């Protein structure tokens, strides 16, 4: 898998979408989903509910219902706004590399 400018363990939940910068999407749903996903990610981090993929595996049976990963945020918000989940996830991974 590709590194994102930092070293960390990759696990089966990690969605490595490559290092190349993608062109900025123009689809309104994707743009709305990106903004909302970034807002929710910041809020979840502040509230202590954002976990790294390896942590998510550890808590999946215990309290996985109250924690989120970048992928779960991107998937949920993209569905809500009919956006491109890969574009949203790529943006979250760029802005939050420690949680990628």
What confidence tens digit (pLDDT) does each residue in 21-71 have? 566 777 889 999 999 999 999 999 999 989 888 787 776 666 556 778 899
Cα dihedral 62→64→65→67 (10° resolution): 130
* Cα 78 versus chain centre, distance: 11
Q: Give the lowest-confidence range in 6-10, 14-18, 61-65, 69-73.
A: 6-10
pLDDT value of residue 83:
93
According to the model, what pLDDT value does residue 27 have?
87
pTM of the model: 0.54
| pLDDT of 15 above 90 | no
Cα angle 95, 61, 76; round to 5: 40
Cα 79 to chain centroid, rounded: 14
Check residues 16 and 34 and name the one with the higher pLDDT: 34
55-60: Cβ within 8 A, 24+ apart? 56/13, 57/11, 57/13
């Amino acid at each position: 898998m590709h590194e994102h400018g930092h070293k960390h363990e990759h696990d089966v939940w990690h969605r490595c979408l490559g290092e190349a910068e993608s062109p900025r999407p123009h689809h309104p749903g994707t743009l709305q989903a990106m903004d909302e996903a970034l807002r929710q990610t910041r809020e979840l981090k502040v509230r202590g509910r954002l976990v790294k993929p390896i942590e998510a595996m550890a808590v999946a049976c215990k309290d996985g219902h109250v924690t989120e990963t970048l992928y779960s945020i991107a998937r949920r918000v993209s569905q809500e706004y009919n956006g491109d989940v890969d574009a949203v996830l790529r943006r979250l991974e760029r802005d939050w590399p420690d949680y990628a």
